[in-house]
Structure 1
Amino acid sequence: MWRLLIGELYPDAEFFEPAKEALFWRIEETLGLPVPLELVELLRETNGVWNEYGDAVVWSAERIVEDNLAMRSEADYRELYAPFDDLLFFGDSDMGPQFAYVHTGYGPGIVVWDHETDERRLAVVSLRDYLVRCLTQGNDWFR
């Protein structure tokens, strides 16, 4: 399902081996947040998605764990930014804004986070919408 959608949106897409199932449990255990089913399903088909500019639109499962841990444990980040405890970062755009699931009382949504201002705002409500925008509208759709 995800490979088909990605291939339609971005015919030059490269696909990777699926993520190992154990990594989904590691993400949840390590970060204390559930991994949204849509993200699990995508990573079961391809362990990451990159756009034509080389941006990691969806990070690999390994990078999700590593980057989220780093952002939560980096002393400078704790001083500069509001806590990341309710965010599950999974992608970025052009070395700038990063994207994360935020868990709310209404279910997960996807926010864009600006590291310069610490602004966090709802970008889209589903992974499908996120991929459509990232893979068809380039790097500026979220501004």
Structure 2
Amino acid sequence: MWKEVAAGAMSEVEFRAPVGAAALAEAERRLDRSLPSQLTELLMETDGMVDEWGSGIVWSLDRIVDQNLLFWSPDSFPGLYMPFDPLLFFGDNGAGDQFAFVLTPARPDIFVWDHESDSRLWAARELEDYLHRYLAGDGDWWR
């Protein structure tokens, strides 16, 4: 389903081999949190999506884990940004801004973190809406 949604919005999307249940369980163990169900479903179809310019529409599972562990670490950005604990980053725009699910309180909405202003802006209702908006949008489509 997820590959069809992305391919329907943009023909130049790169897909990868799907992620297995064991890898997903290990990722959730390392993160000490459950992944949103829509993200899990997508990863079981393709381990991330990259657009024609190399931007991480949806990162690989390994990158999702690594980036979030970095951003959640209290030593990574002391006093520089608001806390990232409520967010689960999973993609980027290729220019530094990153997309995230809100984990606390749990909700399907996608927000974008602006790396220059530390603002967190609503971007999409849920993952399918995010894919449509991302792949059909130009530049900073969420603004």
With the length of structure 1 as denominator, give the TM-score of the two structures. 0.90
Task: Name the counterpart of 1:100.
Answer: 100
Task: Name the counterpart of 2:87.
Answer: 87
Q: 2:46, 2:17 → 1: CA distance?
A: 6
Task: Name the counterpart of 2:109.
Answer: 109
What is the letter of the counterpart of residue 72 of structure 1? Answer: W
What is the root-mean-square deviation in Å for CA atoms of aligned residues? 1.7
Gaps of 5+ in 1: none
The count of corresponding residues between Structure 1 and Structure 2 is 143
1:73 Cα deviation from its structure 2 partner: 2.0
What is the letter of the counterpart of residue 40 of structure 1? Answer: T
What is the letter of the counterpart of residue 124 of structure 1? Answer: A
Q: 2:29, 2:46 → 1: CA distance?
A: 22
Task: Name the counterpart of 1:45.
Answer: 45
Tell me which moved more, 4-13 or 102-111: 102-111
125 and 27 in structure 1: CA distance in 2 versus 1, 3 angstrom threshold: farther
Task: Name the counterpart of 1:128.
Answer: 128
1:78 Cα deviation from its structure 2 partner: 2.8
Runs of 4+ in 1 over 3 A off after TM superposition: none
Q: Percent identity?
A: 44
1:142 Cα deviation from its structure 2 partner: 1.3
Kept in 2, the 8 Å contact 1:3–1:46? The answer is yes
Deviations 1:16-37 (A, max 9, x none): 1001322322332232332111
- The 3-state SS of whatever aligns with 2:44 is helix
Deviations 1:85-131 (A, max 9, x none): 11100000022210000124462321110111111122112100110
Kept in 1, the 8 Å contact 2:86–2:105? The answer is no
Task: Name the counterpart of 1:62.
Answer: 62
Q: 1:85, 1:24 → 2: CA distance?
A: 20
Q: 2:68, 2:97 → 1: CA distance?
A: 14
Q: 2:83, 2:138 → 1: CA distance?
A: 29
